[in-house]
Amino acid sequence: MCDVNVNTVNIKENTDIYKSPVSNTFNKEKSKINLGQSTSKVHEKNLRKGRASLQEESVEEKSEKYANSDAQDLDKYYNYYKNKEEFINTTEYPKNFLLLNNIYDNVRAIGYPHDLASSPYFVKRTNFNLRPERHQFDEKIVKFGVLLSADPTQVFSLAKVLPIVEMAAVAVTTEDGPLPGWKILVDYRDTRCSSVDGPLAAFEFYVNGSADAFIGPGCEYVIAPVARYAGPWRIPVLTAGGQAEAFGYKQPSYQTLTRMMGSYTQAGVAIRKVFEEFNWRKLGMLYHNNDPASGKGNSPCYLTLSAVFSVLLKKNSGSSIPNIPFDETVTNTTVIKELLTNLSLMTRIVVVCANPSTVREIMLAADELNMVSSGEYVFFNIELFSNLASASSKEPWKIEGDTEERNERARRAYSAVLTVTSPAPEKKEYLEFSDKVKDLAATKYNYTFGKGEMVSTFVAAFYDAVLLYALALNDTLSQSADPRGQLDGSAVIRNMWNRTFQGITGEVIIDANGDRVASYSLLDMNPNTSKFEVVATYIAANSSLQFIANRPIHWAGGRTTPPPDTPECGFDGSLCPDNCDAEEGSAQLADIPGPPIYLERTIPV
């Protein structure tokens, strides 16, 4: 029989919605994603009553309720930002707001607490600049306010970044640096990755005149409000975070934001180039996102794949991309198998984003489902923040303490994985820099990097942030009519953007929008060494995908060519009614016991 076990796969017409586990094929509804609504665990106790009842739910129940949440649809994110240019900028169309402008009168408005009954109605404009300019450039002093989480498990934590800022401050003030003889003073606060704590810390720095520039924040939900406030304050914000698509629209909200490691959108372009190389048009997404009830907001994986999806869908207008979110904190092997089975009926190319340990469990489940040995599937692992130069990341399949049998299964499963990440510098200078950072972090900042671990380029980018600011400040002062007088922070920003310089992470190109032009590496596991190695690099400067000579991609299942994105007999075997062997792998997938899986039938456009 070639019916792919129709008893366990129920396909409904396109008027039905998904049941559990859901595949969120895009419905083209508009919804605005707000990057300013989340708070950290510290404040989440006030978000919702009856939280204790959530803990009593089973993994399956919570997964089902979570998967059906409308808040997780990537298509809503896409539909908002794809038409972003259509929005009216109120500063460019003041005629639409003449009525409001008539009520503003700073002269006749009272401007302090007063008797409302006896006073006319005039509104005083908000004073964003609550203090005079307080820089000390005439004394050759620069002040940085570092806004990062103190949690060492965060990619950007104080203990990881402060050693780098300390080293950069020394480097830029040496005799051959851009600010010779200057003094750089640094203050720092723990943002807790909270949209409350972070902005309040920035406000403290601003009111006290403690920061000529903000280094950080690192968490998206802190960057959003801080960068909004920093615009009217004219304080530069330099971060290796903020890669979400929303931060690319600098006007009017993020006028002083400089992104030192590019954006998720650029990563999406790199992935699209790979897909075009192998003629893949159909894909699916499987990614971790936070439970809406957690109060943590959308996960970095959600923000990453939202941008990737936007890039891919703009290129293939009218197509659909099934995407399945899950909460990795409550997901088990049974749920993962159901989600993979769901995707197997729609795609052979799966983009995965989750914690490295979760990705490993996904691949172990895929191996059990014969998705690896069949050679039909390719799993794209998105690990933009990983440290590929470290020994552990070259063998992500291997976990010390796990059984030899599971490690061997994981090694076999990772033969179907291609990893997209940021390039790791290989120069001796960077290796020595990494060693110095690790020593300083251990001896002064009470943080020990992992065995064999090299400092991530995302963390090292804060060194380049300090260098960029120093270079721009030097240029700004030389261009000023009175270098000892007051200096507008926006002038420094103009000299930071549209600039190229050599940084510790390599050549740094900051475009006219204040974003680094980033490149990305594609890694494949060498079957002879069982280690991942770079097989291709996406060069953003000329938008090209360059493969490394004599280093071919090793496809799973003994294939010598990349698998097609659609099985020869179709996803349900209907194109080969007399050939059962063609869809043997898919039939085995469908035979997995479990609850029925309902899918929406995608109608080609």
Type of residue numbered 252: P
Regarding whether 317 and 387 lie in a shared domain, the answer is: yes
Residue of 570 and 389 predicted with greater confidence:
570
pLDDT score for 294: 86
| Dist. CA 390–CA 532, nearest whole Å | 11
DSSP conformational letter for 52:
G
358 & 442 share domain = no
Residue 484: its pLDDT value, please? Answer: 61
Most trustworthy range by pLDDT among 11-25, 310-324, 361-375: 361-375
- Residue 483 neighbours by CB under 8 Å, 6+ apart: 137, 138, 477
User: Among 343, 369, 345, 358, which Cα is nearest to 284's?
Assistant: 343
Residue 527, pLDDT > 50, answer yes
Handedness of CA 478, 480, 485, 487 (dihedral sign): negative
Confirm whether 50 is domain-assigned.
no
Residues 561 and 445 in one domain: no
Say how many residues make up the chain.
605
d(CA 84, CA 265): 14
Q: Are residues 401 and 533 in the same domain?
A: yes
For 294-333, how does the pLDDT look when each residue is reduced to its tens digit (9 = 90+)?
888 888 899 889 988 888 888 765 578 899 999 999 999 9
- pLDDT > 50? residue 91: no
What whole-number distance in Å separates Cα of residue 4 and Cα of residue 586? 7
Same-domain pairing of 458 and 479 = yes
In a domain, residue 26? The reply is yes
Q: Give the pLDDT confidence score for residue 59 in this predicted structure.
A: 45
User: Is residue 411 a part of any domain in this protein?
Assistant: yes
Residue 100: φ, ψ to 5°: -65, -40
With respect to residue 45, please indicate whether it lies within any of the assigned structural domains. Answer: no
Q: Is the bond preceding residue 236 a cis peptide, omega within 30 degrees?
A: no
Q: Which of 199, 182, 160 lies closest to 40, judged by CA?
A: 199
Asked if residue 351 belongs to a domain, the reply is yes
| Mean pLDDT across 200-207 | 96
Rounded to whole angstroms, the Cα distance separating 382 from 479 reads 43
Q: Are residues 164 and 215 in the same domain?
A: yes
Tokens of 322: 């099934």
| Domain, as residue range, for 391 | 9-36+66-82+266-421+522-600
pLDDT at 180 over 50: yes
Closest C-alpha to 62, from 344, 294, 286, 285 = 294
What is the dihedral sign for C-alpha 291, 295, 300, 303?
Answer: positive
| Residue 252 shares a structural domain with residue 144 | yes
**Confidence (pLDDT) at 102:** 72
Average pLDDT, integer, range 513-533? 93
Q: What is the per-residue pLDDT across 453-501, written as a single tens digit (0 to 9) for each?
A: 889 899 999 999 999 999 999 999 988 877 665 677 788 999 999 999 9
Instruction: Write down the pLDDT at residue 576.
Output: 81
Whether 296 and 327 share a structural domain = yes
* 96 is a domain residue: no
Any idea what the CATH number is for the domain that residue 144 is in? Answer: 3.40.50.2300
Strand partners, 545: 538
**Predicted pLDDT of residue 77:** 52
Residue 392 lies in a domain: yes
Residue 139: per-residue pLDDT: 92
Q: How many CB atoms lie within 10 A of CB 120?
A: 8
Q: With pLDDT > 70 as the criterion, what percentage of the chain qualifies?
A: 75
**What is the mean predicted confidence (pLDDT) over 366-390?**
84
pLDDT of residue 348: 95
Highest mean pLDDT among 144-148, 523-527, 547-551: 144-148
Place of tokens 């659609």: 566
Rounded Cα distance, 138 and 158, in Å = 29
Residue 55 reports pLDDT greater than 60: no
* Confidence check: pLDDT of 27 > 90: no
Task: Kindly report whether the peptide bond that precedes residue 252 is cis, defined as omega within 30 degrees of 0.
Answer: yes
Q: State the total domains in the chain.
A: 2
226 and 355 in one domain? no
- Look at residue 122 and tell me if it is in a domain: no
Residue 586 pLDDT exceeds 60: no
Q: What is the mean pLDDT of residues 426-431?
A: 87
Per-residue pLDDT band for 452 (boundaries 50, 70, 90) equals confident
Confidence at residue 46, expressed as pLDDT on a 0 to 100 scale: 38
Same domain, 416 and 445: no
Instruction: Say how far apart CA 457 and CA 436 lie, in whole Å.
Output: 14
- What value does the mean pLDDT of the chain take? 80
* β-strand partners of 238: 215, 258
Residues 297, 358, single domain; the answer is: yes
Looking at the chain, the whole-number percentage of residues with pLDDT higher than 90 is 53
The residue that leads in pLDDT, 506 or 92, is: 506
Shared domain for 388 and 531, answered yes or no, is yes
Residue of 550 and 17 predicted with greater confidence: 550
The per-residue pLDDT for 285 is: 95
Lowest mean pLDDT, pick from 248-262, 404-418, 421-435: 421-435
